[in-house]
């Protein structure tokens, strides 16, 4: 199979773009994803990946960070400009925390450290798809929508608006917002947020939650409107509460 050539397309299968310059890793990843029922396209460098993304419009992106021509971080940054809701899973052998946090800051939804199990990779992707596909019934607790200040969360259409404008949230940002909405007014610790967003236990000193909160704040608190919503409790965690922004008083001319 040549790079950029898809596997045969099972009826209704989702398309996954795998961006990996190591041939054995790319083929192994494609094999397990195909076995799980996905259609797979492989790109071996960053430039080819950007072309494939716009030509094939895949349902999810799985990519390495260290790539020829255009690196993985640049790809994430570019993709988030025109596709805020595309699920992105990063697979990397990098050990530096700053690289992993930068991937999350730019908009990655999940991150796998090499080596990882094929079953874990498939499970992470399926969790992202479930997050994107969920449609809650109107009789769900809290009803089909939640309003707080000038923030509106439409649970049925998975749409978030701030002061009437749609906020382009990624699947991970949407999940965090929903968790905060469900626990409105209650402070959630970083450990609890990590467990409910990613599953598993948060490592000591891990800052993934703070990075994700900053991403959500940029799109919700800093997007206009008259309120901030993601409030920090020092040394405790975060809670959802509408707090009016402090605007400078206008001076009246005499």
Helix (H) or strand (E) run with residue 35 in it:
helix 23-35
Cβ contacts of 201 within 8 Å, gap of 6 or more: 191, 194, 195
Pairwise CA distance, residues 141 & 120, whole Å: 31
Q: What residue segments make up the domains of the chain, in order of their start?
A: 15-133, 145-244
Pairwise CA distance, residues 205 & 54, whole Å: 38
Strand blocks (E) in the chain: 15-19, 39-43, 60-63, 88-92, 110-113, 145-148, 151-154, 159-162, 165-166, 227-233, 237-244
Instruction: Decide yes or no: CATH 3.40.50.2300 for domain 15-133.
Output: yes
**Closest C-alpha among 160, 168, 185, 200 to residue 238:** 185
Pairwise CA distance, residues 67 & 45, whole Å: 5
CATH architecture of 145-244: Orthogonal Bundle (1.10)
Say if residues 55 and 80 touch (Cβ distance below 8 Å).
no
Cα 110 versus chain centre, distance: 7
Say if residues 134 and 178 touch (Cβ distance below 8 Å).
no
Question: What per-residue confidence (pLDDT) applies to 214?
Answer: 94
Question: What per-residue confidence (pLDDT) applies to 156?
Answer: 65
pLDDT in tens, the chain (254 residues): 334 444 444 457 899 999 999 999 999 999 999 999 999 999 999 999 999 998 888 999 999 999 999 999 999 999 998 888 899 999 988 767 788 889 999 999 988 888 888 888 998 898 888 766 644 444 444 445 678 888 988 866 668 889 889 898 888 888 899 899 888 889 999 999 998 888 778 888 889 999 999 999 999 998 888 899 999 998 899 999 999 987 554 544 43
């Amino acid at each position: 199979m040549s790079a950029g050539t898809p596997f045969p397309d099972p009826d209704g299968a989702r398309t996954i773009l795998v961006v990996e310059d190591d041939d054995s890793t790319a083929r192994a990843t494609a094999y397990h994803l195909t076995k799980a029922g996905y259609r797979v396209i492989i790109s071996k460098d960053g430039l080819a990946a950007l072309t494939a993304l716009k030509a094939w419009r895949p349902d999810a992106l799985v990519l390495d960070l260290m790539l020829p021509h255009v690196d993985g971080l640049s790809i994430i940054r570019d993709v988030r400009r025109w596709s805020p809701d595309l699920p992105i899973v990063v697979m990397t052998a990098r050990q530096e925390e700053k690289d992993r946090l930068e991937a999350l800051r730019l908009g990655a939804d999940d991150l796998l450290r090499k080596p990882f199990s094929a079953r874990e990779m498939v499970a992470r992707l399926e969790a992202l798809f479930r997050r994107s596909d969920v449609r809650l019934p109107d009789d769900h607790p809290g009803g089909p929508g939640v309003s707080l200040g000038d923030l509106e969360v439409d649970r049925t259409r998975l749409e978030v608006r701030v002061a009437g404008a749609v906020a382009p949230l990624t699947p991970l940002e949407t999940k965090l917002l929903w968790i905060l909405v469900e626990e409105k007014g209650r402070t959630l610790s970083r450990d609890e947020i990590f467990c409910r967003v990613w599953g598993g236990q948060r490592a000591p000193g891990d800052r993934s939650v703070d990075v994700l909160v900053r991403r959500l704040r940029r799109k919700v608190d800093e997007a206009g409107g008259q309120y901030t919503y993601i409030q920090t409790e020092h040394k405790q965690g975060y809670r959802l509460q509408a707090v009016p922004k402090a605007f400078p008083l206008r001076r009246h001319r005499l």
